[in-house]
Structure 1
Amino acid sequence: MFTACPTERSRVIADRVERFVRDVVVPYERDVRCEAHGPTAGLVAELRDLARAAGVMTPHILPDGSHLTQLETAAVLKRSGLSPLGPVAVNTMAPDEGNMFLLGKVATEAQQQRFLAPLVSGEARSAFFMTEPAEEGGAGSDPSMLQTTAVRDGDEWVIRGRKKFITGAEGASAGILMARTGDGERAQATMFLVDLPHPAIRIERLLDTIDSSMPGGHAQVLIDGLRVPQDQVLGEVDEGFRYAQVRLSPARLSHCMRWFGGVARADEIARAYATTRKAFGKLLIDHEGVGFMLAENLIDLQQAALMIDWCAGVLDGGSLGTAESSMAKVAVSDALFRVADRCVQILGGMGVSRDTIVEQVFREVRAFRIYDGPTEVHKWSLAKKIKRDTLAASHHG
């Protein structure tokens, strides 16, 4: 089901991660500490202690601090996703994985020691504060609608606003916060590093969402007079939108990698059921309706795996990969949802129960079609690029 690992080192790491997830993490899927808003802090700590002991903590970042290539990372993160708890255990989950990537690219050495090192070690979790309440006209898929403001006051910045769908804010020890800076026709944004918890950053509520795999759930947060020193500006002032693009393409693709693993596992469960369960005198797989669904799963999974690897190769070539990651996100999220839906159907009553993880995978992948930009927003962005490129070509023709 998984495409071949591109290098020997990635094969070794991916195989080790897969063994750990299957042998150690999977038995925890029935743990009572898997709650509606994600696994509890106690469960996360226990799983990460086991990951350290097995040598698979933060496997995509090497001991010298360097990263695997995106293609190598794909091989590893797909395996980490074989259980909904896998990315949590081995520290490849969102938003930490994306935050670590951005901090590694943009943060100063002092900022990396203070904010990045605890994330890489798995001792701490983080949050990414960008999305705002739609009902208040805030930023969602369109970050230019950002309403949270940061105003300079001497050597500090004073930030006010409200954020929503902030994954992992509850229990996080640090965050990257996007706020509008400066006036004028073209709004600018700046990223700030913030310590958590903080009295000026108040969690108003945890949202009850369809998914349940991410520690801390998804929070609505009020930021009321938060003071951030100048040395906690991430990168340059007014460059927040540019840094967001640096983070978004790889983070969007790593969502595809992780959820691919979860859906591949759901397909394994559906295959096992269809090749052992009998109805109307023969195995389920021998009924064309079921056998064809499993064949379609095989096709969708293979295409999704290749799409992920193609986009990873583009990123490894030095491109921002904005269009390519949009294509991959649309294709992979839609394909994985089709596979998960078929798995539920094949399992019948068991598929809508929590006797297997198929039901949870179905919920998680449905949310994935919204997270990191809905399918329709990516298609709209691609249509704009098609128009731009076509008109430019015709003018030069």
Structure 2
Amino acid sequence: MIPFVSDRATAIADRVEAFVRDIVIPFEQDVRFEVHGHGPPAELVAELRARAREAGVLTPHILADGTHLSQRETAVVLIASGLSPLGPVAVNTMAPDEGNMFLLGHVANDEQKRRFLAPLVDGSARSAFFMTEPAVEGGAGSDPSMMQTRCVRDGDDWVIDGHKTFITGALGARVGIVMARTPEEGAGQACLFLVDLPDPAIRIERVLDTIDSSMPGGHSLIAIDGLRVPASQMLGEVGDGFRLAQVRLSPARLSHCMRWLGAAIRAQEIATEYACRRRAFGTLLIDHEGVGFMLAENRIDLQQSALMIDWCAGVLDSGSLGTTESSMAKVAVSEAVSRIADKCVQVMGGTGVSGDTVVEQVYREVRAFRIYDGPTEVHKWSLAKKIKRERLSRNHP
């Protein structure tokens, strides 16, 4: 679906796809999910990653010398990993770790990379990105400029206090990236800190019950009370927090599109197979226009999503932050894969809403995607503001 990709990326993606289809997909029905309500349990993650390591497909988007594939190359690899909700978990391309590895690979110093990045790349540790805050605290949800979490210098350390919410993977994570503000009047200065987890000063108050279930550790409500972090564990300098977060933001947003496009491709495969063998009113479902047209519309949405991802990836590969382009891609792809999953459920009828296939889970996962990494409406609002600025800057009547 992604055109003109390098031979090396195609070869890696082919190996990842074969591993996901042959090894990972059978684990989707693993009984361990029945007693674990917040994503794949740790022992299952470890088992899958051991298999991936043995197959040579663990962390496939980062090469042996530590360099990353280009964004266009990453796309084909992450799409392949997303063919199962467990695929990104197994091959270590899942959120938030993939985005955190990208950030640390680009902005961390050598000692920070050794201590915090290396265990993420080798798949022995998971991570969490502590930015979003509870609305009841007046904190940063989709608007990080409202951040309430504070950091105060105390000798060679910083002390952090605040609350965070919807922190993916915090339960069981070993590496944390915490965003906080200095306490000056007005906005203060945003900072990013690397922390070892677990830490008694970072308390998981509750793991939220959410519609999705593919991410280890789920999504947690967090209290930070007197967290002491050495100054050497700050990423960049005081006031660099928002700038450095932008390094992570657009690629991580696009990576979501890649993985969930893979899930939508899989759902389309299952619904197509169902429609081509199930008969109703004397004919195959696929031959009923109401069904066939839904699958045709899905094919169009799949191709448009792939092209949108490729376009945005090319922008990022040019060196641009791609903030606007990634917003556009996130809206287009999240809405498209949601339509695809919805039609797949409809094509399959009662089977589509049961746990007999992964289609039901894909439907739930991609519905959450329309909110995660910024709701559709926030991205549209941001784009509308940009359109207005551009129009006014022309000074036309």
TM-score, scaled relative to structure 1: 0.98
Q: Distance in 1 between matches of 2:322 and 2:340?
A: 26
Aligned partner of 2:199 in structure 1 is 198
Matched residue of 2:300: which SS?
Answer: helix
Matched residue of 1:68: which SS?
Answer: coil
- 1:22 corresponds to 2:21: yes
Q: Distance in 1 between matches of 2:338 and 2:180?
A: 33
Aligned partner of 2:161 in structure 1 is 160
- 1:49 corresponds to 2:29: no
- 1:342 corresponds to 2:343: yes
Aligned partner of 1:243 in structure 2 is 244
Q: Distance in 2 between matches of 1:188 and 1:279?
A: 63
Deviations, residues 261-294 of structure 1 (Å, cap 9, x unaligned) = 0010000000000000000000001001000000
User: What amino acid maps onto 1:330 in structure 2?
Assistant: V
Q: What does residue range 15-164 of structure 1 map to in structure 2 within 5 Å?
A: 15-34=14-33, 35-164=36-165
Does the CA contact (< 8 Å) of 1:144 and 1:187 recur in 2?
no
Deviations, residues 147-192 of structure 1 (Å, cap 9, x unaligned) = 0100001111110011100000000001000001141333321000
Structure 1 unaligned spans of 5+:
none
Matched residue of 1:99: which SS?
Answer: helix
Q: Distance in 2 between matches of 1:5 and 1:50?
A: 30
Aligned partner of 2:290 in structure 1 is 289
Q: What does residue range 244-393 of structure 1 map to in structure 2 within 5 Å?
A: 244-393=245-394
User: What amino acid maps onto 1:154 in structure 2?
Assistant: G
User: What amino acid maps onto 1:56 in structure 2?
Assistant: V
**Which moves more between the two structures, 327-336 or 385-394?**
385-394
Q: Distance in 2 between matches of 1:235 and 1:360?
A: 39
Matched residue of 2:310: which SS?
Answer: helix
Q: What does residue range 146-225 of structure 1 map to in structure 2 within 5 Å?
A: 146-225=147-226
Q: Distance in 2 between matches of 1:262 and 1:5?
A: 22
Deviations, residues 179-233 of structure 1 (Å, cap 9, x unaligned) = 0114133332100001100011111110000000000000111100010000000
User: What amino acid maps onto 2:357 in structure 1?
Assistant: T
User: What amino acid maps onto 1:40 in structure 2?
Assistant: P
Matched residue of 2:238: which SS?
Answer: coil
Q: Distance in 1 between matches of 2:187 and 2:141?
A: 18
Q: Distance in 2 between matches of 1:5 and 1:340?
A: 27
Q: Distance in 2 between matches of 1:186 and 1:208?
A: 33
Taking every aligned residue pair, what percent have the same amino acid on both sides?
74
Q: Distance in 1 between matches of 2:282 and 2:2?
A: 36
User: What amino acid maps onto 1:71 in structure 2?
Assistant: R
- 1:8 corresponds to 2:7: yes
Does the CA contact (< 8 Å) of 1:127 and 1:166 recur in 2?
yes
Matched residue of 1:33: which SS?
Answer: helix
Matched residue of 1:213: which SS?
Answer: coil
Matched residue of 1:38: which SS?
Answer: coil
Q: Distance in 2 between matches of 1:208 and 1:324?
A: 32
User: What amino acid maps onto 2:8 in structure 1?
Assistant: R
Matched residue of 1:272: which SS?
Answer: helix
Q: Distance in 2 between matches of 1:174 and 1:318?
A: 28
Deviation at 1:36, TM superposition (A): 2.5
Which of structure 1's runs of 4+ aligned residues deviate more than 3 A? Answer: none
Q: Distance in 2 between matches of 1:123 and 1:234?
A: 22
**Distance change (3 Å), C-alpha of 1:359 and 1:5:** farther
Deviation at 1:39, TM superposition (A): 0.2
Deviation at 1:32, TM superposition (A): 1.8
Q: Distance in 2 between matches of 1:359 and 1:330?
A: 22
Q: Distance in 2 between matches of 1:28 and 1:123?
A: 20
Does the CA contact (< 8 Å) of 1:213 and 1:364 recur in 2?
yes
Q: Distance in 2 between matches of 1:361 and 1:5?
A: 28
Between Structure 1 and Structure 2, how many residues are aligned?
Answer: 395
Structure 2 unaligned spans of 5+:
none
Deviations, residues 313-369 of structure 1 (Å, cap 9, x unaligned) = 000011100000000000000000000000000010000000000000000000000
User: What amino acid maps onto 2:131 in structure 1?
Assistant: M
Q: Distance in 1 between matches of 2:252 and 2:78?
A: 12
Deviations, residues 82-102 of structure 1 (Å, cap 9, x unaligned) = 000000000000000000000
Deviation at 1:238, TM superposition (A): 1.1
Q: Distance in 1 between matches of 2:219 and 2:4?
A: 33
Q: Distance in 2 between matches of 1:164 and 1:375?
A: 19
Deviation at 1:5, TM superposition (A): 5.4
Q: Distance in 1 between matches of 2:138 and 2:358?
A: 36
